[in-house]
Each structure stands twice: as C-alpha cells, then as structure tokens.
Chains A and B, each alone.
Chain A
C-alpha cells in the first residue's frame, strides 16, 4: 500500500515536471520520470503473485508473473527512444531560437526567422 502510494507520487512528480516547468530539458526529465513510474508499478504488481524469478531451472516453483516483465522490457527501450527524439527536438529549437525557455521560444518564433 505504501509502496503503491509512493509510485503514484512518483507519477505525479513526473507529471508536474512535464506541465509546470518552463525549461524544455526539465520537461524531458519529467517524461523520463513518468516512464520509470509506470514500469515500477507494473513490475511491482506482477511480483506479488509469487516468490521466485521466472527462470525455470530444476525445482523452481511458484514464480512471479512473467507477462508484465516482458511488456516492460519493450516499454523501457521505447522510453529511451522517446527521450532521444525529444532531446533532438529540444536541440533543434535551441539552435533556431537560442533558448530553452518555452516563453522565450514562443516570442522569438512569433517574431519571424532571424
């Protein structure tokens, strides 16, 4: 219960980072934290239904649920792809306008190319 509450709080911290921060790189930090929170929640819930790792060596019984682990592998790799693409976009915006701050970027883009 406490662990789930903490993971929910991590999700809210990531959401706050994406929504309320003005620096683009801090927004990407928030995306990364959101990804970590979701992966933690799935693996934690899957681990409650057993006691051993899902490697069927001789004499292993009562394994944890392996399905969320397989799904989260894909999720982690896609998370790093999303981070790299988002940082590439932030890099291009910085090259075009000279700042990471979203209000400054909006002002400079509105006033035409320079």
Chain B
C-alpha cells in the first residue's frame, strides 16, 4: 500500500524529467548557428557610440537600459517582500538585549574579529573601485554593488546592528536604496527634458561616458543597499533572543 502510494509521485517526477529531456534535446544537440550580427556591430561601433571601453557596460546602460530599469524595480519588490515576510514573523525586537543568543553570551573569536574589523573596509573599498571603473575595465554597477553588499554584511556580522557603524543600520540602508531608486528615475527621465529622448544622455554637451559613470554609481548604490538591507534584516532577526 505504501509502495503503491509512493509510486505515483515518483512516476510523475520521472515522466516530467523525460519530457524535459525531450524538449531540451534540440537545444543541447542542435547545431544552429549563433547570430553574429549584434556582436560584430558592437565590436565595430560600440566604443565610439557610447564612449565606454567595457562593452558590457555599454550594453546594459546604453543599448538595453530598459532591462536595467526593470531589474531595479524587481530588486526593490523582492527586498520589500523579503523584509515584510521576515519582520512580521513574530516579535521582531531589534536585538537590544545585552547577550545576543538568549542567555549564553557569545565568545568573539579571532577569526570574526579579523574578518569583520580588518577585511570589511577593504572589501568595501574594492567594491567602490569596481563600481566606479566599470567603463574601462571589468566592473560596473551590478558587480560593484554586490561586492559592496558583501562588505556591509562583513561589517554587520561583527557588531549588534543598532550599535555598529552607521552604514550597517537598516534605516540608513533603506534610505539609501529608496533615494538612489528615485535618482535613477530622475536620471532616465531627464533625457526627455533636455531633448535626447527617454534614457538618453541627460547632459547634451558632455561626452556620453559621463552618463555611464553616473548611472553605474547609482545602480551600484541601489543594488548594494538593497541586498545588504535584506541580509542585515535577516541577521538582526536571527540574533534576537527567543
């Protein structure tokens, strides 16, 4: 009886995987040629039109900036949803007690001290470097933003979130994320006012690389603040005594 009941889901899973393998077979074993036109056009004209040497930055901030706008909105919605689900799960006190794990005081080990105290600022500086140099070397808004988020998570691991450096507090991170999202909306809308179209270059006299640098910084701030806000909310929830 047990085996007959268990056979149903197993058969279902196996038939689903067989169907998926059948659908994937032309993708995996097919030999259709990769379209070369976008790559050739970008190799010939990309640097001249957008001013950036990193063609990937030129794509996601210039040719396909709509995707980046959509990604910023998805990140905002995901962070809001995650924090809403975590913070309303029970008594969401902010870890204001003296001991951090409900009774037994935690020993601070040397490893945690070195990583959070010494390496955290180094990772933050590296993240800002990767963010700002996105137009001439590998890097950019997304890449620098996630490295900055890692740095902020390091810093907030070592201290209670209400007494640590101001950058790791949830209020600051939420304000930075909302503000940078607003400024991104303003920056892409400014092109409508100055005559170069929606998402065009907002400063008509300057070279187009200026808009790429500014947008990289804004997107890096937004991604970094959003992801680290999610992680700081989770760490604060895990540390409350219950």
Contacts and interface: CB of A to CB of B under 8 A. Distances in A.
In the complex they form, whether A and B have CB atoms below 8 Å apart is answered with: yes
Interface of A: 1, 4-5, 7-8, 11-12, 15-16, 19-20, 41, 45-46, 48-50, 53-57, 61-67, 69-71, 73-74, 76-78, 80-82, 84-85, 88-89, 91-92, 95
A89 B28 contact: no
Contact of B71 (A46, A77, A85): A77
Contacts of B21: 8, 12
26 contacts: A4-B29, A8-B24, A12-B21, A16-B17, A19-B12, A20-B10, A20-B13, A41-B27, A54-B55, A55-B54, A55-B55, A56-B55, A57-B53, A66-B39, A70-B64, A73-B56, A73-B140, A73-B142, A77-B142, A77-B223, A81-B78, A81-B82, A84-B82, A88-B85, A89-B85, A91-B85
Contacts of B70: 74
Contacts of B27: 8, 41
Interface string B30-56: 000010101100110011000001111
Contacts of B60: 70, 73-74
A15 B24 CA distance: 12
A50 B39 contact: yes
Number of chain B interface residues as a range: 35 or more
A74 B142 contact: yes
Interface of B: 9-10, 12-13, 16-17, 20-21, 24, 27-29, 34, 36, 38-39, 42-43, 46-47, 53-56, 59-60, 64, 67-68, 70-71, 74-75, 78-79, 81-82, 85-86, 89-90, 136-138, 140, 142-143, 146, 223, 227, 230
A66 B42 contact: yes
B67 A12 contact: no
A15 B16 contact: yes
A50 B36 CA distance: 10
A44 B192 CA distance: 38
Contacts of B75: 77-78, 81
A49 B28 contact: no
Contacts of A85: 78, 81-82, 85
Given A8-B24, A89-B85, A95-B90, A49 B137 contact: no
Nearest to A6: B28
Contacts of B142: 73-74, 76-77
A91 B89 contact: yes
Nearest to A89: B85
B28 A8 contact: yes
A84 B29 CA distance: 34
